Amino acid sequence: MDKETIAHWQTTNTSLLVHAGIESARLDCLLLLQDELNKSKEWLLAHSEEIIPKPHLIELNKKIAQRAQRTPLAYVRNTQEFYGRKFYVDSNVLVPRPESEAMINLLISANKQKAITIIDIGTGSGCLAITAKLEFPRATVLATDTSEPAILVAKNNAAIHKADIQFEQTSLLP
């Protein structure tokens, strides 16, 4: 279909994702629309009869196909929120888990004034190391991973968040 409204695209693709077993189908479609059209949820709902421009429609259809194959939404969107911050993610790293935020809460329960050293082993996207550095600006933070692509993702996230972290590609196993 060359001309498709926001409402029609969302209805059609919510159904597609439901049939693929995606429990969060409606929300996933809405988030993909928000990302691609750079519009708020409120705007999308108020302008549901707007036609999706063809280049955006092509990208949305690529992304919905990935999601229908059960690719994690964070990988499809290339973003995941962690501790109120957005982090770039791709298939080279694990998707940051909300439960991991508890580690940051444990650090915060300590005295922020202390100069501490934090080592993040298996840093992946770098969300723990970066968040720790941002919450503890005086801390020295070392982030390690065996994967060069993961280190590159983490370095990119550190640059985005302006977090001064030392990175090292290494394995702690003999």
Average pLDDT estimate for 78-82? 96
Mean pLDDT to the nearest integer, 15-37:
97
In the chain, % of residues over pLDDT 70: 96
pLDDT of residue 111: 66
Rounded mean pLDDT, 120-129: 96
Residue of 122, 147, 124, 142 whose CA lies nearest to 132: 142
- Region 29-53: mean pLDDT is 96
* Mean pLDDT of all residues in 100-110: 86
The 8-class DSSP code of residue 98 comes to G
Q: How far is CA 10 from CA 27, 48, 57, 137, 163, in A?
A: 10, 9, 11, 43, 38
Overall residue count recorded for the chain in this entry = 174
- Strands (E) in 26-137, as ranges, are 80-82, 85-87, 117-121
User: What are 39's two structure tokens?
Assistant: 């519009």
Query: Which residues, in sequence order, are CB contacts of 120 under 8 Å at separation 6+?
Result: 126, 128, 129, 132, 141, 142, 143, 144
The pair phi, psi for residue 126, each rounded to 5°, is 85, 5
Q: How far apart are CA 44 and CA 62, in angstroms?
A: 20
